[in-house]
């Protein structure tokens, strides 16, 4: 599977900011020419036009379809007013699966994602229904997107115990500007055997190189349109962008390629989703596959983008002081226990 996955939320201009059919077709072919083989879409993207475009360009060509990994998602309702076509219940799953297969012009989907967790449907019903769809041959593998770590762990454990098809992937937002997932979601995925597929690795374009300290607030584009005004960047965001520019100059590449390389080389990441609207953006993103960051460069970006410590991060700091009562085990010496008088009760 390609280290960069072609995200298809921009396939079709039905939402006002995507690429038209001609542009999208050119992007798909260029991606494939550069060795890409993984396309990720969803039933709801551009009012399901995204799936239909992929079907026309890839699905109906059997030789090309065999080479490609096509992923799509369900859970969001594309049939307003019909309560049976939203969520992750059995009827919704089967209805949306059949529609996606027809739009994609394929007999099977390589990776079928739960788009977002449905708290109204019993987890057992969803997992059993996905397992039935896999056994029927209409789905090869399953994954989950945008769900709490505890629900994913619960569902994965149930699948393993009941011999149902387990998840193989977790799709989450992950970038230099969104690292809170490192607290629980990423460790959970690694523990549960899920490959991580980050989305919005450029934070909606903020890390693309388009926005800089010099032009902050004076750049037009999708982010400006969605925020109903100028895009205002924080000092931390500008500092990260400055460092991306510095590292990009060293590697003779662009800031987007550096930001993508940082994400793609993080532990547990299988393939990073790129979302592009032009061939130029695709080429800039693909350049990430030739960027090899040094340990010092990674450490610099890590330090600048470090999120505030969460409860779990704080707790991890305490563990070495407390476990095994200070006894050396297998040659590993525990951290020195702090004097109780120096400990902050409010912290611990």
Structure tokens at 53: 């475009």
Residue range 225-249: average pLDDT?
83
| Candidate list 45, 112, 174, 211, residue with the active-site label | 45
Check residues 250 and 322 and name the one with the higher pLDDT. 250
**Under a CB-based contact definition with an 8 Å cutoff, are residues 249 and 242 in contact?**
no
**CATH number of the CATH domain containing 289:** 3.20.20.100
Residue range 115-124: average pLDDT?
96
- Where does residue 339 fall: left (phi above 0), alpha (psi -120 to 50 degrees), or beta otherwise? beta
pLDDT at res. 215: 81
Check residues 338 and 40 and name the one with the higher pLDDT. 40
Residues 96 and 139 in one domain: yes
Residue 225 lies in a domain: yes
Q: What global pTM score does this model have? A: 0.88
Residue 96 lies in a domain: yes
Residue 48 lies in a domain: yes
Residues 111 and 251 in one domain: yes
Rounded to the nearest integer, the mean pLDDT of the chain is 90
pLDDT at 291 > cutoff 50: yes
pLDDT at 323 > cutoff 80: no
pLDDT at res. 307: 87
Task: Report the range of poorest mean pLDDT among 26-35, 60-69, 213-222.
Answer: 213-222
Residues 188 and 213 in one domain: yes
Query: For residue range 14-60, what is the model confidence (pLDDT) as tens digits?
Result: 999 999 999 999 999 999 999 999 999 999 999 999 999 999 999 99
Check residues 323 and 191 and name the one with the higher pLDDT. 191
Structure tokens at 180: 């809170």
Residues 176 and 202 in one domain: yes
Query: What domain count does the chain have?
Result: 2
Residue 113 lies in a domain: yes
**DSSP codes joined into one string, 168-234:** EEEEEE-BTTB-GGGTTHHHHHHHHTPEEEEE-TTGGGTTSSS--TTTTT---SHHHHHTTS-----
Instruction: Provide the pLDDT confidence category of residue 310 given band limits of 50, 70 and 90.
Output: confident
Residue range 185-200: average pLDDT?
97
pLDDT at res. 315: 67
Instruction: Provide the pLDDT confidence category of residue 170 given band limits of 50, 70 and 90.
Output: very high
Give the full edge-to-edge strand order of the sheet including 38-40.
195-199, 167-173, 139-145, 109-114, 69-74, 38-40, 4-7, 272-274
pLDDT at res. 230: 64
Residue range 177-195: average pLDDT?
96
Give percent above pLDDT 70 in the chain. Answer: 86
> In the annotation, is 45 catalytic?
yes
Residue range 166-179: average pLDDT?
98
Give percent above pLDDT 90 in the chain. Answer: 79
Residues 256 and 284 in one domain: yes
Residue 348 lies in a domain: no
pLDDT at 327 > cutoff 90: no
Residue 278 structural domain: 4-305
pLDDT at 326 > cutoff 90: no
pLDDT at res. 341: 46
Residue range 113-135: average pLDDT?
97
Q: How far apart are CA 184 and CA 151, in angstroms?
A: 12
pLDDT at 320 > cutoff 70: no
């Amino acid at each position: 599977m390609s280290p960069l996955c072609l995200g298809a939320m921009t396939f079709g201009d039905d939402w006002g900011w995507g690429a038209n059919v001609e542009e999208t077709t050119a992007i798909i072919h260029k991606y494939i020419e550069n060795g890409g083989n993984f396309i990720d879409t969803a039933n709801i993207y551009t009012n399901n036009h995204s799936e239909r475009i992929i079907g026309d360009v890839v699905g109906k060509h059997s030789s090309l379809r065999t080479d490609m990994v096509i992923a799509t998602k369900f859970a969001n309702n594309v049939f307003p007013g019909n309560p049976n076509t939203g969520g992750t219940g059995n009827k919704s799953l089967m209805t949306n699966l059949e529609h996606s297969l027809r739009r994609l012009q394929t007999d099977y989907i390589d990776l079928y994602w739960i788009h977002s967790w449905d708290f109204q449907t019993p987890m057992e019903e969803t997992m059993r229904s996905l397992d039935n769809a896999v056994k029927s041959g209409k789905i090869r593998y399953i994954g989950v997107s945008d769900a709490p770590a505890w629900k994913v762990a619960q569902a994965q454990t149930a699948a393993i115990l009941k011999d149902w098809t387990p998840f193989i992937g977790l799709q989450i937002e992950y970038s230099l500007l969104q690292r809170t997932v490192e607290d629980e979601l990423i460790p959970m995925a690694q523990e549960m055997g899920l490959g991580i597929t980050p989305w919005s690795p450029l934070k909606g374009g903020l890390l693309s190189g388009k926005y800089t300290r010099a032009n902050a607030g004076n750049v037009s584009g999708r982010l400006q349109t969605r925020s109903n005004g100028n895009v205002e960047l924080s000092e931390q965001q500008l500092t990260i962008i400055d460092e991306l520019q510095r590292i990009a100059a060293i590697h003779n590449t662009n800031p987007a390629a550096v930001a993508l390389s940082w994400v793609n080389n993080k532990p547990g990441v299988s393939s990073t989703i790129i979302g592009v609207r032009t061939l130029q953006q695709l080429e800039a993103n693909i350049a990430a596959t030739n960027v090899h960051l040094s340990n010092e460069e990674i450490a610099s970006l890590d330090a600048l983008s470090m999120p505030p410590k969460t409860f779990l991060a704080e707790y991890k700091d305490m563990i070495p002081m407390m476990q095994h009562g200070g006894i050396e085990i297998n040659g590993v010496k525990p951290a020195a226990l702090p004097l109780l008088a120096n400990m902050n009760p409010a912290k611990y």
